[in-house]
Amino acid sequence: MSGTRTIATTRSAMGIPTGRLAIWWVLVSEIVIFGGVLVSYVMHRLGHPEWAVEAAHTNMWAGAFNTLVLLTSSLSAVLGHQAAEQGNGPKAARCLYLTFLGGLTFLIVKSFEWTREIREGFTIQAGGFWSFYYTAAGLHAFHVMAGMTIMLWVASSARKNQDLHRVENVGIYWHFVDIVWIFLFPLLYIAK
């Protein structure tokens, strides 16, 4: 990497390195995507009080455990960022690997949860509530998978002390995924 640096590192717009500005732009579009789904769910939930009967079948403890897992993975992501700020690439990489493990745990719990629900007949076609449930949680799980993939890629270069600015960028994305789940948890698991 000596001699050349990526534009995302050397160029800045609005006083922000372009790599980080790009992440914020991505998140703004993600707010519109998730916001659309969540707002649609809220208005339909208020219009369909009978959905409470369906919502009673979601496993609150699994949802709570997954919330704890994501909050903890956010902690390791921000500790990775802190290590990158101090120029400690190997430590930043280790933190990102831990974040990856958090994402993996989240997906495993989710897969057990969905298997049980589908076996009980609560498929995506079982009603309006379940359509929203699988769409919102599925879209979120897809973002977790995307974040995990990028995390491995960033960690592999951070381990060699290369492109450490990316540690913060992937961290910002991961925290956003965490925030989306913070709202999905009460909407899908607590409001019954």
| Inter-residue contact 19 to 9 (CB < 8 Å) | yes
- Give me the least distance between CB of 21 and other proteins, in Å please: 8
168, two tokens: 């913060």
Element (H, E) at 155: helix 128-158
Binding mask 137-156 for other proteins (x = CB under 8 A): --------------------
**Would you say 158 and 93 are in contact if contact means Cβ atoms under 8 Å apart?**
yes
Other Cβ atoms within 10 Å of 190 Cβ, number: 12
User: Quick check: 44 binds other proteins (CB under 8 A)?
Assistant: yes
From 58, 79, 137, 170, residue interacting with other proteins (rule: CB under 8 A)? 79
Q: Is 62 in the site for other proteins (CB under 8 A)?
A: no
Selected from 106, 122, 133, 134, the binder of other proteins by CB under 8 A is: 122
For the bound state, the minimum distance from the C-beta of residue 143 to other proteins, rounded and expressed in Å, comes to 15
Contacts (CB under 8 A) with other proteins, residues 153-172:
161, 163-165, 168, 171-172
First-last CA distance in the chain: 54
